[in-house]
Structures are given as structure tokens and as C-alpha cells.
Structure 1
Amino acid sequence: MIKVLLIEDDDIIGEMICMYLTEEDFHVLRTRTGQDGVAELNEFSPDVILLDLTLPDFEGTDLCNSLRQVTEVPIIIISSNAKVSEKVEAFTVGADDYLCKPFSMHELKARILAVSRRSKQAAAVGAASLPVDQPLKCDLDMNLETRMLLVRGESIEMTFSEFELIRLFYEHPQRVFRREELINALRGYDSCINDRSIDVHITNLRRKIEENPKDPQYIKTVWGVGYKFVK
């Protein structure tokens, strides 16, 4: 049973989501404030977080960023704001998907199943595909079992999507990935993520792993095509 933490202050929408997901055999816990959501995070231990961007005590993107600092649980933003800039900001601070209100409950279920499946597969594949502490390069070490990246001996905090990108690059060194391939690898075909979001993730990764992000040695741009990883 998938456990869903719903942080939504609108009673009508909140109750609709709770009723539908409960009928579909999800275990749902709803909070009306960001503070209560954070308080329930460890005790409830959700598999997926549904986060409204408009809360009485938090800006949704600020809360998303705070949650991402303490958990790798997939976060789906639910919002009435359909602006691309808002979506890009959400992905930048750690969201894994973005669903615009009003939305179909069937689509919501599909999104939850998709991010949950990718999260579980990533953990399973990561544990099996690379021995613990196998080095990427002299100053880059990745542990897929614990989902940790060490850069020059220091642990680097990453979002779920950032880790999935660097894992994908590592497993296919020198391969040139088109942006469309990276989008599909992260979100599936039904995602709101776009080319701009991928570029933002790449920029953030370079800032975290490159000695000089303006002259990257690991993540190379292949102009007019996409990106590749150089060991």
C-alpha cells in the first residue's frame, strides 16, 4: 500500500483527494499546514508527498525546498498556477512532478504510481548496479546503495531528479543524451517537465560537482543535441 502525505488547506479539494485515493487503496494522511506536514514526515514515513503551493503558513516552493533538504521522497506539486516559470521554479527546488488544478483523479493516481515506481526502481537498480564506494573519478565518488555523491571528499545534497540524472550519465559514459531522452527518463511521457527544466537541473548539477561550472569537465554540452558525461 502506497502511503501519501497530502499537504492541502482547501477542504473541498483535500477531502476529494483523500476519498478517492482511499477508495483506490492508498493510505492517505492529510495536513492543512506546512508545519503540520513537516511534523508528520518522519512518523508517517510517506512514499509520495502531494504539496499544494498555496498554504496559510508557507510559500509552497519554500516548503518544497525545505522538504527536499531532509527527504528523498518524491514530491508532486498540485497547483492552480499553470505558468511555466512557476513549474520551473518548483522543479528547481526539488519537485518531481507538477499537476495543475483542476485535474483528473485518474491522472493524479497515475502520477503517484509513476513517481513511486521510479523511486523504488532507482533504489533497487542503484543497489545492484554499482558496488559500494566505487569511484567515478579521482575526485567524484558515488554510492548508489545510499544514494550519496561525494565530490572531493564532501557529501553533496541533491534532489531526487538530480541524482537520477547523474546516475544515468554514469551508467552511459560518452553517450550523448537528447533533452527528450532525459525528460522521459526522469518523468515519463505524461510529465510537465520541459527542456528548460532539464537545463536548470544540469546547471545545478554543474554547480555541485564541477570545479569550474563554466568550464565543466564531467557534464559536457553537445551543442544542438543535448549532454554527455565524461569520466
Structure 2
Amino acid sequence: MSKILIIEDDLSIGEMMSIYLYEEGYQVMRAETGRQGEMLFRDFEPDVIVLDIMLPDVDGIQLCTDFRNSSTIPILMVSAKNEVSDRVKGLQTGADDYLCKPFSMRELSARIQALLRRSHAFPPPAQSTATTEQIVHLDLEKRCLFVHSKIIETTFSEFEIMKLFWQNQGRVYSREELLNRVRGFDSYVTERAIDVHIANLRKKIEADPKEPKYIKTVWGVGYKFLLT
């Protein structure tokens, strides 16, 4: 049974989410403040966090950052703020998805299911084609990125970029080409966001992101991926 931590100060919305998800078969705990959420995060060990941005005691954005700095648990951010800039800020802070209020409970459940599917920690294949020198490995069937045989959490757009790189190693892709790859999944992405995705991927797979070994910048053109 997957465990869901809801951090929501609105009593009616929090109760509604808790009851619906409980009836869907999840184990649910709810916090009404950020501080309560931090304690439950440590003690409850959830599989997904549903986090409201507007909390009475702490900034939800900062709380998201704190969670992300210590864990790869999927975070679904919910908020009445529906401007594009708010959504982008939430995702760049470390949230894996963003849901604008008001929303249906069915959509909430579907978003959580998607996050659980993407974050499920599959073990590396027993008969992996990766050699001992191949530090980075992509399992396309299970949508998993491995570094040193450990699964690395990625957003949907980050995985799509890595998938394109993996299947076409050595080919140089412009920002526009990468943008076209992910635009169908993230309608708010821009060429600047591609640079952010690349920077985040480098942090996840490179020993030294400032001197990347795998994801290379081709100045004036774009990026390419090389295992050697």
C-alpha cells in the first residue's frame, strides 16, 4: 500500500483529499502546517507528498526545496496560484508535478498514480548490457536512469531528453530540437527551460557538472551525449 503525505492547511480540501485517497486504497497522513509536514515526512516515510504552496507557518516553495535536498520522493504541488510563472517556479524548485486549484479528486488520484509509476524503484537488470565502465545506463522499457547502478529520479521531460540522447549518442541537438521533443509533454517549456533541464541532468549524472563528461555543450549549436 503506497503512502501519501498531504500537507494542506485548508481543512475542507485536506479532508476531501484524505478521504478520497484512503478510499482509493492509499495509506494517508495529513498535516495542516509545514512543521507538522516535516515531522511526518521523517516519521511516516511517504511515497508521494502532496504539498500546498500557501501554508500558515512556512513557505511551501522553501519546504519543497528542503524535501528535495534530502529525498527523491515525488512531490505534487497544489495551489490556487495558476500563473505560468508560479507553475514554472514550483517545478524548478523541485516539484515533480503542479496541480491548480480547484481540481477534481479523480485528477488528483491520476496525477499521484503517474508519479508512483515514474518513481517506482526498479532494480537494475540482472543481465544488463552496461559494462563496468558504463557508469550511466538508461532502461527504456522501465523508464529508469541508473548512475553507478543506482536509480536516479528524473522528471518526465528530463527522461525524454536523456532517451533522445541515449538512442542517438554523438549526435548534436539544438535547443529547438530538444524543445520539440518535450513540448508535447510540457506545453510551458521554453528554450531557456531546456538549459535548466540540461543543468539538472548534469547534476544527476556527472561527477563534476561544471566539467561534464557525458552531456557536452557544442557552442553555438546545442548539446550532445557521449558515454566515452
Query: Shorter chain as normaliser: what TM range?
Result: 0.7 to 0.9
- 1:130–1:194: structure 2 CA closer, same or farther, 3 Å change rule? farther
| Residue 18 of structure 1, CA deviation | 0.7
Paired residue type of 1:143: H
- Tell me the residue number matched to 2:198: 202
Q: Distance in 1 between matches of 2:132 and 2:198?
A: 23
Q: RMSD in angstroms over aligned alpha carbons? A: 3.3
- Tell me the residue number matched to 2:215: 218
Q: Distance in 2 between matches of 1:41 and 1:105?
A: 23
What is the total number of aligned residue pairs between the two structures?
A: 206
| Residue 219 of structure 1, CA deviation | 4.0
- 1:83–1:167: structure 2 CA closer, same or farther, 3 Å change rule? same
Question: Helix, strand or coil for the counterpart of 2:62?
Answer: helix
Contact 2:158 2:197 in 1 (8 A): no
Q: Which has the higher contact order (CA 8 A, sep 6+)?
A: 1
Between stretches 197-206 and 165-174, larger displacement belongs to 165-174
Q: Distance in 2 between matches of 1:37 and 1:132?
A: 42
Gaps of 5+ in 2: 137-145
Gaps of 5+ in 1: 148-158
Question: Helix, strand or coil for the counterpart of 1:68?
Answer: helix
- Tell me the residue number matched to 2:226: 230
Q: Distance in 2 between matches of 1:219 and 1:179?
A: 17
Identity %: 38
Does the alignment pair 1:143 with 2:143?
Answer: no
- Tell me the residue number matched to 1:32: 32
- 1:89–1:47: structure 2 CA closer, same or farther, 3 Å change rule? same
TM-score by length of 1: 0.73
Deviation per CA, 1:25-72: give whole Å up to 9, x if none: 111100011111111113211111000000011111111000001111
Q: Distance in 1 between matches of 2:164 and 2:220?
A: 17
Contact 1:2 1:47 in 2 (8 A): yes
- 1:93–1:85: structure 2 CA closer, same or farther, 3 Å change rule? same
After superposition, where does 1:1-231 map in structure 2 within 5 Å? 1-120=1-120, 123-124=121-122, 127-128=124-125, 129=128, 134-136=133-135, 142-145=147-150, 147=152, 160-161=154-155, 164=159, 168=163, 171-172=166-167, 173-174=169-170, 176=173, 178-182=178-182, 189=185, 194-195=189-190, 197-206=193-202, 209-211=208-210, 218-220=215-217, 227-231=223-227
Contact 1:169 1:228 in 2 (8 A): no
Contact 2:217 2:223 in 1 (8 A): yes
Question: Helix, strand or coil for the counterpart of 1:41?
Answer: helix
- 1:53–1:33: structure 2 CA closer, same or farther, 3 Å change rule? same
Question: Helix, strand or coil for the counterpart of 1:127?
Answer: coil
- 1:60–1:221: structure 2 CA closer, same or farther, 3 Å change rule? farther
Q: Distance in 2 between matches of 1:35 and 1:20?
A: 24
Question: Helix, strand or coil for the counterpart of 1:18?
Answer: helix
